[in-house]
Amino acid sequence: MKELLDSVVEEFRDIWRNGRVATYIPELARACPDAVGLAVCDLGSGLYTAGDWNYPFTMQSVSKIVSLALALTVCGEDAVFSSVGMDPLADPFNSIMRLEMDAPHRPHNPLINSGAIVVLSLLPWTESSERVTAVSDLAARMAGKPSVSMNSAVYISEKETSDRNRALAWFLKSVGNLHGDIEDILDAYFRQCSLETNCADLAVMGATLAADGRNPITEEQVLTPRVARVVRTIMATCGMYDGSGEFAVSAGIPAKSGVGGGIAAAVPGMMGIGTCGPALDSRGNSVAGLAMMKKLSEVLNLRIY
Ligand code: DON
């Protein structure tokens, strides 16, 4: 496995040139575009890493699988899916258009920005710090680490510039679909997006989902099998945003991307995969990550469809 991962990183070392790092959150523009890391956490034989596997980046939207898992656990499926849909969307992750056009004005799924903001608002804590502590504790347990830290510079940078997410939140409030203190909910959202990770953590998080909620490294049952299955399913249908259908055809594995450059994938009963590559395509998915996921899926025959 180690040789395979080394060869995949080598093959796609330069593919980042086809993408660009995110700049709409100014601090993300400081990322190294050419960092390329790959990790697999095999449910039987453990963790394998290659390339810049310990390059740190922020979870961004990958954190949405953690907050979804938390809300499903704490609030239950019915409460979550009566406020947020479970269908893919062919629009960008921060688009406001469908939210206004479709009635009820409910986010299409929990992994687009509007959906993740609603999911956070459902959590039964009033302070943003409590919501984020619960999300980061669960992220740590899924990754098999004592704790997960937050990148303050990225948090402040997003908080200062996130007019689009504010627009989404205030629109949701105006149609009665977001309750609570909007600035506090948004603060929790910016903090959870700024949780710091690397592709090895993402591989273990993916493996926890792949193993029906049991972390294969710590052996802790972190999520119920049902919650892990629902999260994997939403990843498979919505995890790569408006690139989800294409990724389902080309790689065929449940995965979730983030504009920090990470992708976490869960291959049921087999493994978790984490990739790092801060240069993104036009949809906000890591160019190197997509290429490495597709390659591994092909070589190891990982398709679930
Ligand atoms: O809210 C945002 O725009 C970012 N904090 C997260 C977006 C993201 O990661 C989309 N992923 N590909």
Q: Write out pLDDT tens, residues 162-214.
A: 999 999 999 999 999 998 999 999 999 999 999 999 999 999 999 999 999 99
pLDDT category at 105 given cuts 50, 70, 90 is confident
Q: Inform me whether the pLDDT recorded for 64 exceeds 90.
A: yes
Contacts of 53 by beta carbon, 8 Å cutoff, 6+ apart: 37, 38, 39, 198, 199, 200, 276
124 C-alpha vs ligand 1 centroid, how far in Å?
24
- The pLDDT score that the predictor gives to residue 122 is 95
What is the span of the domain harbouring residue 259?
A: 2-60+196-300
Structural domains in the chain (count): 2
Q: What is the pLDDT of residues 268-295, one digit of tens each?
A: 999 999 999 999 999 999 999 999 999 9
Q: Inform me whether the pLDDT recorded for 27 exceeds 90.
A: yes
Of all residues in the chain, what percent carry a pLDDT higher than 90? 91
| Ligand 1 within 6 A of CB of 257 | yes
Which is the catalytic residue, given 36, 55, 61, 257?
A: 61
User: Could you tell me if residue 234 is inside a domain?
Assistant: yes
Mark whether 202 and 180 lie in a shared domain: no
**DSSP readout, 17-41?**
GGSB---SSGGGGGS-TT--EEEEE
Mark whether 34 and 74 lie in a shared domain: no
User: Could you tell me if residue 72 is inside a domain?
Assistant: yes
pLDDT category at 47 given cuts 50, 70, 90 is very high
| Ligand 1 within 6 A of CB of 193 | yes
| Ligand 1 within 6 A of CB of 157 | no
How far apart are the C-alpha atoms of 5 and 143, rounded to whole Å?
20
- The pLDDT score that the predictor gives to residue 241 is 87
| Ligand 1 within 6 A of CB of 262 | no
- The pLDDT score that the predictor gives to residue 43 is 98
User: Could you tell me if residue 174 is inside a domain?
Assistant: yes
- The pLDDT score that the predictor gives to residue 51 is 98
Could you tell me if 171 and 100 are in contact, meaning their C-beta atoms sit under 8 angstroms apart? yes
Q: What is the pLDDT of residues 127-171, one digit of tens each?
A: 889 999 999 999 999 999 999 999 999 999 999 999 999 999 999
Q: Inform me whether the pLDDT recorded for 248 exceeds 90.
A: yes
Q: Inform me whether the pLDDT recorded for 81 exceeds 90.
A: yes
CATH classification at residue 13: 3.40.710.10
Domain finish residue from 193, 224, 254: 193
- The pLDDT score that the predictor gives to residue 94 is 85
User: Could you tell me if residue 116 is inside a domain?
Assistant: yes
112 C-alpha vs ligand 1 centroid, how far in Å?
8
Neighbouring C-beta atoms of residue 182, cutoff 10 Å: 16
